[in-house]
């Protein structure tokens, strides 16, 4: 690849370079070019004959993607719940299935009531931000053990103008939160330490992926905290094979209802643990 090319030719040549690595090479070629040119899809479609100069940044982006680095880390942007968020290497890329977790929290919450929500493992902050936008009376405390994640979350919170509503805290699980919490939400690390991972996860941080030897250790610790601190509602994402262990762990817990939800592929993906009699 060298020199000048028109937009349509760039899309073709990038798509062909990415054909070995991307599931949808043409779509990724468009997204890469849109981010590089800082233009949207409509501009790309309506300017097929505009000449674009090749430069080292574009070549470097294509090289990184060919090495299987996720597109989101290269373009520093990710779409979640119909919004665009900033993302950087070192912080988990939010996944589409986590949008279901938001819906579960919204079903627990009363948007007319002042509610205190805590999020453990906020990562890029997307869950807390979407919740704050849907629940105008909620105050949210978002915790992460990773300072890189908290920096990215801070950028996103500022971008959405939510500094007054979402407070970031650094620390382990719910330790930095002493306040009374109504709702706890978490998409914690839940992969077992020895699990064989798909290669697209190679670029993501270990502390965002691995939940311990069995995988569900952090989830169990969060459940303990919810029971100890008498939190009304806990919505949590989990691995597709973790339902049984959680059901067993909560077998004797009579004062709570436990409901599991599935992702769009039909796999068990999370649960909501609620005090009986609560929304
Ligand atoms: C699976 S990622 C979820 C990120 C984000 N909430 C999302 O859904 O995209 C898990 C997050 O939990 C954080 N984390 C891991 N162990 C933690 C702990 N013990 N206490 C607090 N946060 C933790 C990681 O740094 C990571 O940002």
Evaluate if residue 175 carries a pLDDT over 80: yes
Ligand 1 centre and the CA of 91: distance in Å? 9
Can you give the pLDDT at residue 221? 97
The tens digit of pLDDT for each residue in 9-46 reads 999 999 999 999 999 999 999 999 999 999 999 999 99
Evaluate if residue 144 carries a pLDDT over 60: yes
Residue 106: CB partners within 8 Å, gap ≥ 6?
131, 134, 135
Q: What is the residue with the minimal CA distance to atom 9 of ligand 1?
A: 94
Q: What is the residue with the minimal CA distance to atom 6 of ligand 1?
A: 122
Token pair, residue 136, equals 């105008």
Residue 219: CB partners within 8 Å, gap ≥ 6?
186, 188, 190, 211, 236, 238, 242, 246
φ and ψ at 129, to 5 degrees? -65, -45
Query: Under CATH, domain 90-275 is a member of which superfamily?
Result: Vaccinia Virus protein VP39 (3.40.50.150)
Between CA 199 and CA 129 the distance in angstroms is 29
Atom of ligand 1 nearest to the CA of 123: 27
Question: What contacts 24+ positions apart, CB below 8 Å, involve 215-220?
Answer: 215/190, 215/191, 215/239, 215/242, 216/190, 216/242, 216/245, 216/246, 218/121, 218/173, 218/188, 218/189, 218/190, 219/186, 219/188, 219/190, 219/246, 220/246, 220/249
List the single range of 147-151, 220-224, 250-254, 272-276 with lowest mean pLDDT: 250-254
Nearest-10 crossing angle of helices 98-108, 126-134: 40
Ligand 1 centre and the CA of 238: distance in Å? 12
Q: What is the residue with the minimal CA distance to atom 2 of ligand 1?
A: 208
- For range 182-206, the mean pLDDT: 92
The residue whose CB lies within 8 Å of the most ligand 1 atoms, and thus the one to mutate among 85, 126, 192, 207, is 207
Ligand 1 centre and the CA of 274: distance in Å? 22
The tens digit of pLDDT for each residue in 80-138 reads 999 999 999 999 999 999 999 999 999 999 888 999 999 999 999 999 999 999 999 99
Give residue 244's region: left, alpha or beta (phi > 0; psi -120 to 50): alpha
Ligand 1 centre and the CA of 35: distance in Å? 27
Between CA 16 and CA 117 the distance in angstroms is 46
Atom of ligand 1 nearest to the CA of 127: 6
- For range 180-203, the mean pLDDT: 92
The residues facing 182 across adjacent strands are none
What spatial distance separates the first Cα and last Cα of the chain, rounded to whole Å? 58
Q: State if pTM tops 0.75.
A: yes
Can you give the pLDDT at residue 2? 55
Atom of ligand 1 nearest to the CA of 209: 1
Ligand 1 centre and the CA of 25: distance in Å? 30
Ligand 1 centre and the CA of 143: distance in Å? 8
Can you give the pLDDT at residue 138? 97
The tens digit of pLDDT for each residue in 212-256 reads 999 999 999 999 999 999 999 999 999 999 999 999 999 988 889
Tell me: domain 4-67, CATH 3.40.640.10, correct? no
Confidence of residue 55 (pLDDT cuts 50, 70, 90): confident
Ligand 1 centre and the CA of 154: distance in Å? 15
Can you give the pLDDT at residue 161? 98
- For range 143-159, the mean pLDDT: 98
What does the domain layout of the chain look like in residue ranges?
Answer: 4-67, 90-275
Can you give the pLDDT at residue 41? 93
Evaluate if residue 279 carries a pLDDT over 80: no
Q: Which residues line ligand 1 (CB under 6 A)?
A: 92, 94, 98, 120-124, 126-127, 143-146, 149, 172-173, 187-189, 207-208
């Amino acid at each position: 690849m060298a020199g000048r090319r028109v937009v349509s030719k760039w899309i073709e040549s990038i798509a062909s370079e990415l054909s070995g690595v991307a599931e949808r090479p043409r779509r990724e070629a468009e997204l890469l070019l849109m981010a590089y040119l800082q233009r949207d899809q409509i501009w790309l479609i309506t300017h097929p004959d505009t000449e674009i100069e090749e430069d080292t940044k574009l070549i470097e982006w294509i090289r990184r993607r060919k090495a299987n680095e996720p597109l989101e880390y290269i373009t520093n942007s990710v779409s979640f719940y119909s919004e665009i968020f900033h993302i950087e290497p070192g912080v988990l890329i939010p996944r589409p299935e986590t949008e279901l977790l938001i819906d579960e929290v919204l079903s627990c919450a009363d948007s007319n009531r002042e509610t205190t929500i805590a999020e453990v493992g906020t990562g890029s902050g997307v869950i807390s931000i979407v919740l704050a936008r849907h629940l105008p009376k909620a105050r949210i405390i978002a915790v992460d053990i990773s300072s890189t994640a908290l920096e990215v979350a801070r950028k996103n919170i500022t971008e959405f103008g939510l500094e007054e509503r979402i407070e970031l805290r650094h620390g382990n699980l719910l330790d930095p939160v002493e306040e009374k919490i109504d709702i706890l939400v978490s998409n914690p690390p839940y992969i077992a330490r020895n699990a064989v991972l798909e290669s697209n996860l190679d670029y993501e941080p270990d502390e965002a992926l691995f939940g311990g030897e069995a995988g569900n250790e952090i989830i169990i610790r969060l459940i303990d905290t919810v029971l100890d601190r008498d939190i009304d509602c806990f919505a949590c994402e989990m691995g597709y094979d973790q339902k049984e262990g959680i059901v067993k762990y909560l077998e004797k817990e009579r004062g709570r209802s436990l409901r599991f939800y599935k992702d769009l592929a039909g796999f068990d993906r999370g649960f909501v643990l609620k005090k009986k009699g609560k929304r």
